[in-house]
Amino acid sequence: MSYFHSVTLDTDKCQGCTNCIKRCPTEAIRVRGGKAKIIKERCIDCGECIRVCPYHAKLAVTDSFDMLGDYEYNIALPAPSLYGQFKNTEDANVILTGLEEIGFDSVFEVARGAEAVSAITRRLLQEGSLQSPVISSACPAVVRLIKVRFPNLIGNILNLLSPMEVAAMMARREATEKTGLPDEKIGVFFITPCPAKVTSIKAPLALEQSNVSGAISANEICAKLMPVLKNITQPKPLSVAGMEGVSWARSGGECEGTDTMQYIAVDGIDNVMNILEQIEDEKLDDVDFVELSACLGGCVGGVLNITNSFVTTTRLKHITSELPKRQESCSVTLEDALFRTPIEHEPVMKLDEDFAVAMQKMEQMDALYESMPKLDCGSCGAPSCKALAEDIVRGFGNENDCIFKMRERVRELAKELFDLEARPYGLNNQKEDEDL
Amino acid sequence: MHKYYKIDGKDFSIAGEASSDFKTVLKKLGTPAEIVRKVAIAMYEAEINTVIHGGGGECDAAIEKDKIVITFRDQGPGIADISLAMQEGYSTANDKIRELGFGAGMGLPNIQKYADDMSIETEVGKGTTVVLSINL
């Protein structure tokens, strides 16, 4: 298993505060020696730490625009959330034309991949062969969260590749036909709203190798597009996807394309964890389809976007109102879209391989926790007293990391010193005194 | 090893905390997913019963060599007719509780469905003890 992560730390900027450790949904960050450290096995690249860091010390590693130079023919794969990033631009054609002007040879909308996935999802739901409730596989942070924390629900994940992968596959096919170039000379670049997507390209979920060559931050692309867009007076008719595909950018969009009324769309990592708990306990029995997005608002809330997610959502409504409702612009078969490899549980949360040893550790953990101040202050570098107790048992924490425990020890030591100092001289000395 | 929980009888909004915590414990121990699921569902149902019918109580969850044994004890009104209580859809929950979405009469039947073994000791006016176990 490769542990590539887009989310990384700029050590120089990190002040060692407790903001990120408290926000992380998988308790994957500790502060050690005054700097944050990400536990690679646990990180799901949701980007919450990037959002919350007041010093901008957390960042998403993305591919550089210069990478286009490595290929003979470059295709831009804009995430539908890109459409709502620009003020006074409510025509998708303008943005797509802009992408060609800044250096891409062609554009393939990820929204078209989304429509293809929707069409297949509808078919599968109708056939009734899926494990209910079906959980969307579109948000890679959610899929990783399930792998790490909700192994029971792996079977509920819709076994279809993400719209990005499907779009990349179709874009490659089209480009090969059009240019006659070999695969390795065609660059396919996803314009990403979030770090989780970057990771899902470098360390793919459910397939051996991604069809995407690289992921360029929406941020960087927006900066390049902005000066270009206002000069586009005659946009090319590049927009093909319909409302249903583009709506995937916001929470609820994917659900609306399933044709079932028994759906629920949940956004925001805390809400997602909450609903996963409920599904795990079988408390959500009247729902067929569950759409989950780690970011509030859906992909529009991705940390690499430049515009407020609520603003983007409103703009998208305007943009999509001009589009045909449902387009099925490309022929994707079920085999094209199916997972190539199964999603597997990553038991990174368990205390020990051996159940008996794990149980001993759990008992030690409980005892340690009982002796702690239970303030969850984070000063020790762990997100909570419970997490510190667990770290100690796992062997990467120390009781003295807790400043309250430390203070107690200092007090005890001081008392000991005081007692020592107050003691009368030793017997020998006393005898000598008497002799005098 | 044991986990002990006090079950508050007044606050419906926190009902389910014990089973949720124990589920986390089992996951950390590396318990097979299917067992975690069975425990989580059966324990949740029993916990809710302790809250809505028992008026609160206590829970002891023990992990033994070959099974998990969970005991819920309350000093509530007791169950007058156990065979009736075991029927799907039968519930003595009042309207107020039903308005909160509980009292569908599936509590005990669900515990029986998911637990490998279950026993009820009850005395009207004194209280109820439900013991459920799930094999490891």
Neighboring chain B residues of A151 at a CB cutoff of 8 Å: 33
Determine the pLDDT at residue A430. 54
- Test mutation, B2, B28, B110, chain A, max A CBs within 10 A: B28
Neighboring chain A residues of B37 at a CB cutoff of 8 Å: 152, 280, 282
Q: Do B30 and A277 touch (CB under 8 A)?
A: no
Neighboring chain A residues of B67 at a CB cutoff of 8 Å: none
Model confidence at B83, pLDDT cuts 50, 70, 90, reads confident
Distance of alpha carbon A423 from its chain centroid, rounded?
62
The model's pTM: 0.89
Q: Do B37 and A362 touch (CB under 8 A)?
A: no
* CA distance linking residue B92 with residue A188, whole number of Å: 63
Shortest CA distance from A390: residue in chain B: B28
Check pLDDT > 50 for residue A287.
Answer: yes
Check pLDDT > 90 for residue A137.
Answer: yes
Distance of alpha carbon B106 from its chain centroid, rounded?
12
Q: Considering chain A, what percentage of its residues have pLDDT values greater than 70?
A: 96
Determine the pLDDT at residue A36. 95
pLDDT tens digits along A161-172? 999 999 999 999
A350 closest CB neighbour out of B29, B34, B63: B29
Neighboring chain B residues of A345 at a CB cutoff of 8 Å: 33
pLDDT tens digits along A66-83? 999 999 999 999 999 999
- Using a 10 angstrom Cβ sphere, with 0-12 exposed, 13-18 middle and 19 or more buried, the burial of residue B129 is middle
Reduced to 3 states (helix: H, G, I; strand: E, B; else coil), residue A131 is coil
Q: Do A351 and B30 touch (CB under 8 A)?
A: yes
Neighboring chain B residues of A280 at a CB cutoff of 8 Å: 23, 37, 40
Mean pLDDT of A105-130: 94
Check pLDDT > 60 for residue A253.
Answer: yes
Lowest mean pLDDT among A204-213, A272-281, A319-328: A319-328
In chain A the first and final C-alpha atoms are separated, in Å, by: 80
Decide if domain B2-135 falls under CATH 3.30.565.10.
yes
| Domain A7-60, CATH among 3.40.228.10, 3.90.1150.10, 3.30.70.3340, 3.30.70.20 | 3.30.70.20
Mean pLDDT of A214-236: 95
**Interchain CB contact of B44 with A (< 8 Å):** yes
CA distances from A34 to A59, A111, A259 (A): 18, 44, 52
Give the architecture-level CATH label for domain A355-422.
Orthogonal Bundle (1.10)
Domain ranges of chain B: 2-135
Mean pLDDT of B55-68: 93
Complex ipTM > 0.95 = no
Mean pLDDT of B36-49: 92
β-pairing, A289-293 vs A263-267, is parallel
- CATH 3.30.70.20 in chain A is located at 7-60
- Test mutation, A146, A344, A359, chain B, max B CBs within 10 A: A359
CA distances from A387 to A44, A51, A395, A406 (A): 18, 22, 12, 17
Shortest CA distance from B26: residue in chain A: A350
Q: Do A281 and B44 touch (CB under 8 A)?
A: yes
B29 closest CB neighbour out of A280, A345, A358: A358
Model confidence at B97, pLDDT cuts 50, 70, 90, reads confident
pLDDT tens digits along A89-100? 889 999 999 999
Computed over every residue of chain B, the mean pLDDT equals: 88
Computed over every residue of chain A, the mean pLDDT equals: 92
Model confidence at A428, pLDDT cuts 50, 70, 90, reads low
If you count residue pairs, one on A and one on B, with CB atoms under 8 Å apart, how many are there? 47
Determine the pLDDT at residue A282. 85
Give the helix ranges, DSSP H, for A322-376.
Answer: 334-337, 355-370
Neighboring chain A residues of B64 at a CB cutoff of 8 Å: none
DSSP run (H or E) holding A291: strand A289-293
- Closest-CA distance, B75 to chain A, in angstroms, reads 27
* CA distance linking residue A417 with residue A411, whole number of Å: 10
Check pLDDT > 80 for residue B136.
Answer: yes
Q: Do B25 and A362 touch (CB under 8 A)?
A: yes
Model confidence at A1, pLDDT cuts 50, 70, 90, reads very low
DSSP calls for A25-40: TT--EEEETTEEEE-T
Check pLDDT > 80 for residue A7.
Answer: yes
The distance between the two most distant Cα atoms of chain A, rounded to a whole number of Å, is 113
- CATH 1.10.15.40 in chain A is located at 355-422
Q: Considering chain A, what percentage of its residues have pLDDT values greater than 90?
A: 85
